[in-house]
Amino acid sequence: MLRPATADSSVWAAIRPRALKGRMGAATIKDVVIVGGGTAGWMAAAALSKLMGHACRIRLVESDEIATIGVGEATIPTIKAFNALLDIDEDEFLRKTQGTFKLGIEFVNWGQIGDAYIHGFGSIGASLGNVACHHYWLKLRQLGQAADLERYSINTAACRSGKYMRSVADMPNSPLGEIANAFHFDAGLYAQYLRTLSEARGVVRTEGRIVRTILRETDGFIDSVVLESGERIEGEFFIDCSGTRALLIGQALGVPYEDWSHWLPCNRAIAVPCASVSPLLPYTRATAHSAGWQWRIPLQSRIGNGLVYSSQFMSQDEATSTLLSHLDAPALAEPRHIPFVPGRRKKTWVKNCVAVGLSSGFFEPIESTNIHLIQSAIGRVISLFPNAGFHQADIDEYNSQIQFEYERIRDFIILHYKATQRTDSPFWNHCRDMAIPDSLQHRIDLFSSNGRAYREAAELFAEASWVQVMVGQRMRPDGYHPYVDLLSDADLKAFLGNIESVIQKCVDVMPLHEAYIGQHCAAS
């Protein structure tokens, strides 16, 4: 029936949390080198050591002199599968990372100034006769009798009441069994947490700045990396988690970067923390401003804030003052400025090197997709793990799966900019009028006619996600699925009214998010 908007699609869900033991063949890769110790590096180390630590040596090289990006604090529900793979105790993990629960993202001022809608992770209502619930809602709205779409989803209704509890496993027919959550956490503490897990499982960390990459003369594969100290680290399989520097995939192997700035206009971010305020909201907030948008990520210890903007339409000074004047509490540090280029590496697995994390590509954090992409890349590496022969067919398959995933997420993010009715600034006029990929135009056309939305193959975002953003940003379809008319108006009203009241009753019994954290996982 109901399923998470961002479901545990494809590859990751198929991986069983069980280490691979036993004797490995002569052609098995025995030396894996991970370059970089940010979120990507330690996620890769934690997963590989859990599944393959018995079979191969895993080393991670990082330099304390080169800071990690230090942001990346909001996630989507797929991270729960990653935690399960690592046997992570969720309460302990939240205590150690100052973590909170996340049920969705609130978008403020996107369709028009003054608008606010939530993209919740849970699905919307229940389907009837194989027709998705939102079609019934579209008709009731045309009749002028529908409540806000948010009232038909347990996740979004709970957000609006500031409530949270874990999904109840033995209530499959109740909305309380359908609560889909992710987390907010402190990025630095998360990397530390994963490092502790990884080192306990045998990962060897080497401190030092890499100054050179040596390629094999015969085939151009990576042979080793050389540190400033002169130490040379050899490996058979290299995972490039060196961030935007892309030391291996970009600098050594010369794989070009595909720039998507013409579709994703923002290219700068400013990050700043501020003190925590009550109530502790169970969702991220994304507030649109005149040339970009501001994130608000509530942690137990502080609120993470940032402004993502387009340097073509806003100066750094204006962006900084916009951000600082929209904080809930005084800033706790100096704002940090982070330039970026939206897009992806044309290939992320080349020869014996896979790029994971920022070295492989970057989406602005509007839908919190980057940590998911790290996890998904690691899942695919495990599923297509090479032997020493490195078969090109495996590599091609990996690259094509990653390309598909990136392009579908790209379209979803562009939608947030394109589907606006704002006319108050040159930035929003540009976004409204810009050309978009044909694949996204097709989705917009489908929805605009009869409210239809589809999840394509194993793409990340499900129908409910597309519908919530399209409706939330004022797209109004001409019609709805014709089967809806088989229901009388009175039955239609009763069907949706029942969903709304059951969801409200469930929300009423849920505890406040802050109280739930206090009871289960308060950080010391």
Q: Which residue, 85 or 194, is less far from ligand FAD as judged by CB?
A: 194
Query: With left for phi above 0 and alpha for psi between -120 and 50, is residue 429 left, alpha or beta?
Result: alpha
Residue type, 321: S
Q: Which residue, 105 or 499, is less far from ligand FAD as judged by CB?
A: 105
- Which one is catalytic: 50, 80, 102, 418? 102
Distance CA 515, CA 297 (A): 18
CB of 480 to ligand FAD, least distance (A): 34
Burial state string for 424-440 with b = 16 or more CB within 10 A and e = fewer than 16: eeebbeebeeeebeeeb
Please list the alpha-helical segments (H only) found in 143-287.
154-161, 187-200
Q: Which residue, 45 or 126, is less far from ligand FAD as judged by CB?
A: 45
Q: Which residues bind ligand FAD (CB under 6 A)?
A: 36-41, 61-63, 66, 68-69, 71-75, 187, 209-210, 241-243, 245, 247, 269, 271, 306, 338, 340, 357-358, 365, 368, 370-371, 374
Q: Which residue, 126 or 270, is less far from ligand FAD as judged by CB?
A: 270
Beta bridge partners of 309: 268, 292
Distance CA 281, CA 69 (A): 25
CB of 494 to ligand FAD, least distance (A): 41
CB of 293 to ligand FAD, least distance (A): 12
CB of 355 to ligand FAD, least distance (A): 9
CB neighbours (10 Å) of residue 123? Answer: 29
CB neighbours (10 Å) of residue 65? Answer: 9
Q: Which residue, 357 or 386, is less far from ligand FAD as judged by CB?
A: 357
Per-residue tokens: 77: 């529900």
Per-residue tokens: 52: 């393959």
Distance CA 457, CA 7 (A): 12
Burial class (CB in 10 A: 0-12, 13-18, 19+), 454: middle
Query: Is 102 among the catalytic positions?
Result: yes
CB of 5 to ligand FAD, least distance (A): 16
| Cα dist from 306 to 41, 309, 444, whole Å | 24, 10, 29
Active-site annotation, residues:
102
